[in-house]
Amino acid sequence: MTDQVRVGEVTRPRRAGVPEATVARLPVYLRALHALAEGGATTVSSEALAQLVGGGSAKVRKDLSHLGSYGTRGVGYQVEELVFHISRELGLTQGWAVVLVGVGNLGHALAGYGGFTSRGFRIAALLDSDPGRVGELIAGQRVRPVSDLDDVVRETGVSIGVIATPGASAQDVCDRLVLAGVTSILNFAPVVLQVPDGVDVRKVDLSVELQILSFHQNRRVLSAGLVPEQGVSA
Amino acid sequence: MTDQVRVGEVTRPRRAGVPEATVARLPVYLRALHALAEGGATTVSSEALAQLVGGGSAKVRKDLSHLGSYGTRGVGYQVEELVFHISRELGLTQGWAVVLVGVGNLGHALAGYGGFTSRGFRIAALLDSDPGRVGELIAGQRVRPVSDLDDVVRETGVSIGVIATPGASAQDVCDRLVLAGVTSILNFAPVVLQVPDGVDVRKVDLSVELQILSFHQNRRVLSAGLVPEQGVSA
DNA sequence: GTTTGTGAAAGGATTCACAGCA
DNA sequence: TGCTGTGAATCCTTTCACAAAC
């Protein structure tokens, strides 16, 4: 936090090198802070915040220190101030336009999910390749055909695409998104997408977490000694 | 892989110490391997697998080496064999019974999601606290009231609970699950759950990934346009 | 020749512990 | 006194590079 970086005409505290691990936790802090603010809290200590998100206070402090020095010794952090700085760091003040492709069960859930709009994302369009779905009204939006993608991107300045199609069509949709100029993609389809350099893909896999849970559950059962042996032995 | 560990009455190659980072990737390998098997491939090299999942071949080899020594030098890995060993390591051969609480949009999507059942999970029951939803038929299952939870756990030996309720009721549902004896919980609600020691909670937050994407998109826009020179790395 | 398995090196992330400030 | 901010130490993860095996 000591050195400075020139951005345009102004210098401001360097926040360029925020570690990935920290970035991944900022949304979690943000949610906790919103909850605190709703509850009427004005300040919060690293210890209290750590309690809320499940972690150590030192980690919280180090994370927040990457955004700048916004705490007060002996007191803690101002909730509203932290919300502002984290939101800005995450780019949530930009009001990104998002296009959602695929309005099956999951797409429906995503279109109606408050967590997107409440964090500054604007769903610019809902697309689906199934002609039977086109025209359907979901969360106040009319579903449009995937062929409208180029128009949508041009009209609304979409920079983030969300893929909630079946696995089979995900790569095709992805290619179209990239071709249309979308550089950030959130993929809910159960496939690993291939994209050119310069495009950022993140994947949310509903079953991966369940499998990780299974691993731990399995270990717990095994170490509890209840299951003598399973499958192949050495 | 050299030392041994006693489990019950037998010794077998130690696989107890699989690093978390590796565990998190095993489901991804598993999916790629299933796709390869469907495509008719019988062997795969670490390099090819790395290509498919997006990573380095050394990482793949080190990951797989934690399961044992199942590759053949000069050849690669047997696809089917790897599928078996990874599945077993993840405990997917146990056929865990899962109870899903909350059958709103997201719950619907989860109940119909093939990725659960195709990986050996069995949805033992669907529960909802809304009396209006009880009795509804989803994916061949009839929705039952949350008050049936104890019965469900007793009857079906459920060990994993999935929470897909609104945030407001998630902690309550979580408490009931814990009380009923469930020790692994997958939480889709946008809150951080508090649980006693010995209970494993994993959270999937649909908007967290979008916010991380926003961070990178923001950085890209900043460094592409306005920032003259240094500061922003990558 | 090809590809695995793995020590060793390098790079990150977390935790410790305390100086410094309100 | 209470709590932040941060070097230093520790732990974990990734990458390198190559001997061993096919």
Tell me the pLDDT band of A226, cut-offs 50, 70 and 90.
low
Average pLDDT for A180-202: 94
Tell me the pLDDT band of A78, cut-offs 50, 70 and 90.
very high
Q: Best interface-test mutation with B: which of A208, A220, A229, A233 has the largest number of B CBs within 10 A?
A: A208
Task: Report d(CA B70, CA A124) in Å as an integer.
Answer: 49
- Matching residue, tokens 């069960």: A105
Does A41 score more than 50 pLDDT? yes
Residue stretches of chain B with pLDDT short of 70? 1-16, 225-234
pLDDT number for residue A17? 86
**Cα-only R_g, chain B:** 22
Cβ proximity of B100 and B126 under 8 Å? yes
Task: Report d(CA B200, CA A15) in Å as an integer.
Answer: 34
Digit-coded pLDDT (tens) for B130-155: 999 999 999 999 999 999 999 999 99
pLDDT number for residue B16? 54
Q: Would you call B89 and A215 a contact, using CB atoms and an 8 Å cutoff?
A: yes
pLDDT number for residue B183? 95
Q: Would you call A215 and B105 a contact, using CB atoms and an 8 Å cutoff?
A: no
Q: Which residue of A has its CA nearest to B81?
A: A232
Measure CB to CB from residue A207 to each of B10, B116, B219 and give the nearest one.
Answer: B116
A204 CB neighbours in chain B (<8 A) are 204, 206, 209
Tell me the pLDDT band of A225, cut-offs 50, 70 and 90.
low
For residue A94, give the DSSP letter.
G
Task: Report d(CA B133, CA B169) in Å as an integer.
Answer: 16
B26 Cβ contact partners less than 8 Å away, ≥ 6 residues apart = A211, A215, B63, B86, B89, B90
Q: Would you call B218 and A91 a contact, using CB atoms and an 8 Å cutoff?
A: yes
Dihedral in degrees, nearest 10, Cα atoms A152, A126, B218, B167: 160
Digit-coded pLDDT (tens) for B57-98: 999 999 999 999 999 999 999 999 999 999 999 999 999 999
Within an 8 Å CB–CB cutoff, is residue A11 touching chain B? no
**DSSP state string for A110-160:** HHT-HHHHTTT-EEEEEEES-TTTTT-EETTEEEEEGGGHHHHHHHH---E
SS3 for B26?
Answer: helix
Q: Would you call B30 and A228 a contact, using CB atoms and an 8 Å cutoff?
A: no
Residues with CB under 7 A from strand C: A 19-22, 55-56, 58-59, 61-62, 72-75; B 1-2, 45-47, 57-58, 61-62, 64-65, 69-77
Cβ proximity of A203 and A187 under 8 Å? yes
* Of B129, A28, A110, A89, residue with least CA distance to A127: A110
Interface of A with B in 107-136 (CB under 8 A): 108-110, 112-113, 115-116, 119, 121
**Residue–nucleotide distance: A53 CA to D4 C1' (Å):** 19
What's the pTM? Answer: 0.90
* Of B68, B86, B67, B77, residue with least CA distance to B45: B77
Task: Report d(CA A79, CA B189) in Å as an integer.
Answer: 23
If one compares B234 and A80, the residue with the highest pLDDT of the two is A80
Task: Report d(CA B90, CA B65) in Å as an integer.
Answer: 15
